[in-house]
Structure 1
Amino acid sequence: MTTKEDIIQVALVLLIIQCLLAMYGFIYYQECVKMKKISRIVVLQPTNITRQRTQTYVTTSRPNKTEVDLKPRLREKIRFLIEPKKDLNDTCSLDKCNSTNGFRWSMVTFVKSKSDHFAQRETLRRTWASVRIINNAQFRTIFVVGTNPSTQNTNALKNEQKQYGDILQYDGPDDYKNIMLKTLAGMQWASDNLPSNFFYSSADDDVIVNLSALQRQIVAAHAKMNKDGWSEFPLVCAYNIMPHDKPHRERGSKWLIDKNEYPWHVWPPSCFGGFYSTRVSLIARFYEESRALPLLRFDDVWITGIVRQHVGMPSDMVLPPGDANTVHHLEKNENMTLLWEKMLPQLETQHNICLCA
């Protein structure tokens, strides 16, 4: 028979069990709240810089702290000290060449030069860079230079700009090992100031260009673009192409590159930097992509090979020279003026051409 004392004991046991359950429930609730405050998942939306890859990160929230910025850090834009005329017209091109007429296409060539290479720039202006029009295509040239501590050099450069209006000086070094910065300066200025359907060319100041042959290359590349259904204009290697060249590892070589800078045994297919062309629309994409990548000393293979691959542009869109004499790199004792004088009569005979020498 159940006694009164037995009933009281059972009631006490049940009460103790209820208290323990309530206590454990409270502790579990506190731990859940704590975990929700400490940890949360942030999902980043894809961007063109990360090449459409969605990534997940865990961050810790702290009082009065903003969320961690997980976007790639972009290289600062280049500052310019001297800029060319944005309309790209001078008195000669307006009066003599009637450059206000419509053209089928326009090309601006950015020539990498040193600030003290006054004679070289004068020679180019008198030779192939004097061409403003060939048939229905218009051509302009801009010289990209760095800074020089010499006051005399600075004043001479300002006078040169006042006379010709074709100088782009960026606030940075003028030496060869930083030549990639000159290339980026031209790319940035072209992206910000030229129509996207203009053609962009990069050149050295010690080459002579057969613009007639270059025009044929551009026309042929455009035809191939349409035939193959490409969404963008290709890279035209007017000087030469590097199909699968090996990096120089020999000590003392001008083009030596350590494996820490570039570890692979071959370069990606790319253009030699003497001269190459494409559309401003593609250069703008290359430039934006380059801002998130480490610099490489060799601007040609970096831009047209490595950056190109990061953008996703396939190697079959890097076209080799269609004409062997499109661009000639001057040897030590060759005279650009004499070579141009031999080339000019053929240009004037075969084409409707306008010069502003």
Structure 2
Amino acid sequence: MRPWFIVRKLRPVLYIMAGLWLISSVQQVSDIESKGFLRGRLFGHRVMRALKEVPLEPISYRREFMRNYPLQVDLLPYVLDKIKNGTDIPFKKRYHHNYTYIHKPDSCKFYSQKGAKLAILVKSAAQNWYRRHTVRTTWAKIHPGIIKVVFLVAYNKSVQGMVDYEADFYKDIVQENFQDAYFNNTLKTVMAFNWAMESCSDANYFLFVDDDHFVNVPGLVQFIKSLSRETKENLFLGFLISCGEPERAKTSKWYISLERYPFDLWPPYLAGGAFVTSFSVTQKMQMAFPYVKPIGIDDAYLGMVAKKLSIRPMDSVHFHTTGPYASYEYFIHGKLKSNKTGETPHDVLSLPKTECV
């Protein structure tokens, strides 16, 4: 039997197979356009690899954040109802902080009832024992009656013995059993808020500060006392980043993927080096954490929680440790060598001209 005769006999079968392949290909193209992936393998790994390299477009923060960043509900009324009436928030807690304390200091005791009772929570890497020692022997010794200083530390196996000794000796270490790493700073911040509400609820204000900052405690206390009553009640104040853009370069320390945070801008947030909150703001945010999807950048995350609760971050030049208005009057960053020379704006609170609303 000649080959051309076989081909002629099999021609209908080949037509049918070609038709099925074409239909399957069209369906897969439709899948790519609608869902961004292939269901089959007919196009091969090369097409799959090319599809993965197609960049996603960021979503508009101004239009979509409040509607589409979990949870898609107005949290504030439920949080206020829980504070006022003890009513449970009627939503499932989706983002649990499932860690346990390794070390937990005794509850705060303030021996003076005059002025502002201030709890200072110092974020510190487990291995930074020398910085904690410097803080203890310098600015943390001031005003022992109206301030309480603790250090926020996570777990690092290589130095845990040293941390155990510190905690037993000084009784000022707050530590949970998650790994001490940069992108766990959000866990450390949530731990701080939880401890503040559990063990330091007598405080009027909370200062969150990094261990490489020097704090002018008397000046800070006087500054807080000088604020208006309404500002004190809603205090969430520091160095405001009013309209920041997420870092998309994968080599950056602050890289955040579009899959993790799909919006083009951050909500207004306070730079994490130093910021102060009132008891009221601290309580609201701590209650909201289980309902707002966390990210690894802790200061931006607090801005997201504040946005969900209609808490407005406030800017003060006294918290600026970099930039044109840095005065270093209340905070001196460890990397800075000398104070800023020149004029400082007279505004105590300087709200930005533009804000991501």
* Alignment TM class, shorter chain as reference: 0.5 to 0.7
C-alpha displacement at 1:132, in angstroms?
2.5
Q: Give, in whole Å, the separation in 2 of the partners of 1:52 and 1:109.
A: 28
The aligned amino acid for 2:211 is D
In structure 2, relative to structure 1, the CA distance for the partners of 1:310 and 1:196 (3 Å cut) is: farther
Answering whether residue 276 of structure 2 is matched by residue 277 of structure 1, we say yes
Q: Which shifted more, 262-271 or 175-184?
A: 262-271
Q: Secondary structure at the match of 2:191?
A: helix
C-alpha displacement at 1:103, in angstroms?
2.4
Q: Secondary structure at the match of 1:171?
A: strand
Q: Give, in whole Å, the separation in 1 of the partners of 2:124 and 2:189.
A: 10
C-alpha displacement at 1:251, in angstroms?
3.4
Q: Secondary structure at the match of 1:251?
A: coil
Preserved contact between residue 197 and residue 281 of structure 1 (Cα < 8 Å) = no
C-alpha displacement at 1:296, in angstroms?
1.0
The aligned amino acid for 1:204 is D
In structure 2, relative to structure 1, the CA distance for the partners of 1:128 and 1:330 (3 Å cut) is: same
Q: Give, in whole Å, the separation in 2 of the partners of 1:311 and 1:234.
A: 13
Q: Give, in whole Å, the separation in 1 of the partners of 2:240 and 2:122.
A: 19
In structure 2, relative to structure 1, the CA distance for the partners of 1:165 and 1:322 (3 Å cut) is: same
Q: Could you say which residue in structure 2 is the equivalent of 1:112?
A: 123
Q: Which shifted more, 289-298 or 153-162?
A: 153-162
Q: Give, in whole Å, the separation in 1 of the partners of 2:122 and 2:297.
A: 16
Residue 310 (structure 2) aligned to one of 303, 312, 334: 312
In structure 2, relative to structure 1, the CA distance for the partners of 1:209 and 1:52 (3 Å cut) is: closer
Q: Give, in whole Å, the separation in 2 of the partners of 1:124 and 1:51.
A: 40
TM-score when normalising by structure 1: 0.63
Preserved contact between residue 112 and residue 203 of structure 1 (Cα < 8 Å) = yes
Q: Secondary structure at the match of 1:172?
A: strand
Q: CA RMSD in A?
A: 2.8
Q: Give, in whole Å, the separation in 1 of the partners of 2:262 and 2:224.
A: 34
C-alpha displacement at 1:266, in angstroms?
2.2
Q: Give, in whole Å, the separation in 1 of the partners of 2:170 and 2:228.
A: 32
Task: List per-residue Cα deviations over 1:246-298 (Å, max 9, x = no partner).
Answer: 22223312112222222222222111000101123321210121111221111
Written as runs of structure 1 = structure 2, the 5 A alignment for 1:28-67 is 49=75
Q: Could you say which residue in structure 1 is the equivalent of 2:235?
A: 234
Answering whether residue 107 of structure 2 is matched by residue 86 of structure 1, we say yes
Task: List per-residue Cα deviations over 1:275-334 (Å, max 9, x = no partner).
Answer: 10112332121012111122111111211x100011122x3x5232346322222218x5
Q: Report percent identity of matched pairs.
A: 23
Answering whether residue 176 of structure 2 is matched by residue 170 of structure 1, we say yes
Q: Could you say which residue in structure 2 is the equivalent of 1:215?
A: 221
C-alpha displacement at 1:198, in angstroms?
2.2
Residue 317 (structure 2) aligned to one of 314, 318, 321: 321
C-alpha displacement at 1:52, in angstroms?
5.3
Answering whether residue 129 of structure 2 is matched by residue 131 of structure 1, we say no
Question: Which protein has the larger Cα radius of gyration, Structure 1 or Structure 2?
Answer: 1
C-alpha displacement at 1:209, in angstroms?
1.5
Answering whether residue 125 of structure 2 is matched by residue 121 of structure 1, we say no
Preserved contact between residue 115 and residue 225 of structure 2 (Cα < 8 Å) = no
Preserved contact between residue 235 and residue 276 of structure 1 (Cα < 8 Å) = yes
Task: List per-residue Cα deviations over 1:37-89 (Å, max 9, x = no partner).
Answer: xxxxxxxxxx9858559xxxxxxxxxxxxxxx96343514541110112145x
In structure 2, relative to structure 1, the CA distance for the partners of 1:50 and 1:222 (3 Å cut) is: closer
Q: Which shifted more, 191-200 or 172-181?
A: 191-200
In structure 2, relative to structure 1, the CA distance for the partners of 1:247 and 1:214 (3 Å cut) is: same
In structure 2, relative to structure 1, the CA distance for the partners of 1:77 and 1:282 (3 Å cut) is: farther
Q: Could you say which residue in structure 2 is the equivalent of 1:161?
A: 167
Residue 141 (structure 1) aligned to one of 141, 149, 157: 149
In structure 2, relative to structure 1, the CA distance for the partners of 1:77 and 1:193 (3 Å cut) is: farther
Preserved contact between residue 120 and residue 205 of structure 1 (Cα < 8 Å) = yes
Q: Give, in whole Å, the separation in 2 of the partners of 1:282 and 1:196.
A: 14
Written as runs of structure 1 = structure 2, the 5 A alignment for 1:72-83 is 72-83=93-104
Q: Secondary structure at the match of 1:218?
A: helix
Answering whether residue 203 of structure 2 is matched by residue 182 of structure 1, we say no
In structure 2, relative to structure 1, the CA distance for the partners of 1:196 and 1:270 (3 Å cut) is: farther
Q: Give, in whole Å, the separation in 2 of the partners of 1:279 and 1:290.
A: 17
Q: Secondary structure at the match of 1:86?
A: coil
C-alpha displacement at 1:234, in angstroms?
1.8
Q: Which shifted more, 207-216 or 294-303?
A: 207-216
Q: Give unpaired runs (5+ residues) of structure 2.
A: 1-72, 80-89, 320-326, 340-357
In structure 2, relative to structure 1, the CA distance for the partners of 1:282 and 1:196 (3 Å cut) is: farther
Q: Secondary structure at the match of 1:261?
A: coil
- List structure 1 runs of 4+ shifted beyond 6 angstroms: none
Preserved contact between residue 203 and residue 275 of structure 1 (Cα < 8 Å) = yes
Preserved contact between residue 248 and residue 257 of structure 2 (Cα < 8 Å) = yes
TM-score when normalising by structure 2: 0.63
Q: Give, in whole Å, the separation in 1 of the partners of 2:270 and 2:229.
A: 20
Q: Could you say which residue in structure 2 is the equivalent of 1:249?
A: 248
Residue 208 (structure 2) aligned to one of 196, 202, 205: 202
